[in-house]
Amino acid sequence: HEPWWDSYHVIARYLTRLSLVLSAGERVNEILVLEPTSTAWMYQGATPGQSELTALGDRFFDFMKSLEEAQIEYDLGCEDIMARHGTIADGRLIVGQRRYHTVVLPPGCENLESSTLKLLQAFLKAGGTVFVCGEGPTLLNARKSDEVLTLSQHAGWKKTDPVALLPILAERQDQRVRIIRQNDDPGILFHQRRRLANGEILIVINTSDTQFSRGVIEATYRGAEIWDLERGEVKPAVFSRKDDSLTVRYDLPPVGSLVLFLSEKEMSPGHVDKFEEQRVPTSHIDVARLQPNVLTLDYVDVQVGDEIRR
């Protein structure tokens, strides 16, 4: 009964292509941010309003948002999963199929589980780096412990301010792809990378509904394609090449997005399309019903005289 049903395939096909892109390949990050879950457990059942728990959640959310807006690529670390699947090898913290050279303890992290403490001790001893936002944890299994304090004696234990940490992490993450935003870019930019056997997919999204987002993407790949999810088309990206890297400029309108395939294979750059701005005149719009309305009544009340039946 919906008037847009005949055109619904447009969004359905777009979402189908987007789902494929977002599930293709693998995300490979080398920075692990520890979730302060065990810290939150200490405040469960607190006084009405749970101000401590709310404040912890807000700080963690704001920290995650700052990482995303700074285009930092990271995974979230769960202490329980790390206890069951975490090991240390070759100076890396290994959890499942991922290897991390950097661990971040977010603002508000007050507690560590004993299993996490052992992993971090071994990680630091093997030459790993742990960035601590704020004072860092002082509790072990929700109790005061000198063992936690001894972590700070390692050279790799580095206390920092969350804001100062952003450029540090940007330089420590994988440098094959770098997103460099234009100065004073007013857009709200996020991205995701998906690694494939012959290259990788880069999805860049401007979530601002009022402002453009502009900048450049630098990548050490040999070619780039634009995957148009709306039309289902592939076309060469416009890029410049220097030595072993290429540069693609992006100019995203409000709620605009770009999907690039960065290829190991040599590709020729595309050409800049020229557009001419045209003003579309507006006029009075007449709206008319094309056919009788159809309204499904799922529930109905029937009244006959003084009797009502539902």
Whole-number pLDDT of residue 1: 65
Judge contact between 278 and 230, C-beta under 8 A.
no
Whole-number pLDDT of residue 292: 78
Q: Write out 239-278 in H/E/C secondary structure.
A: EEEECCEEEEEEEECCCCEEEEEEECCCCCCCCCCCCCCC
Number of C-alpha atoms within 13 angstroms, CB side, residue 298?
0
Neighbour-count burial of 101, counting CB atoms closer than 10 A to its CB (0-12 exposed, 13-18 middle, 19+ buried): middle
Q: What is the DSSP letter of 135?
A: T
Whole-number pLDDT of residue 24: 96
The pLDDT tens digits along the chain (310 residues) read 677 889 999 999 999 999 999 999 999 999 999 999 999 999 887 665 568 888 999 999 999 999 999 999 999 999 999 999 999 999 999 999 999 999 999 999 999 999 999 999 999 999 999 999 999 999 999 999 999 989 989 999 999 999 999 999 999 999 999 999 999 999 999 999 999 999 999 999 999 999 999 999 999 999 999 999 999 999 999 999 998 899 999 999 999 999 999 999 999 999 877 767 788 888 888 888 887 777 777 788 889 999 998 8
Rounded CA Rg of the chain: 26
Whole-number pLDDT of residue 201: 98
pTM metric for this prediction? 0.85
What crossing angle do the helices spanning 51-69 and 162-172 adopt, rounded to 10°? 40
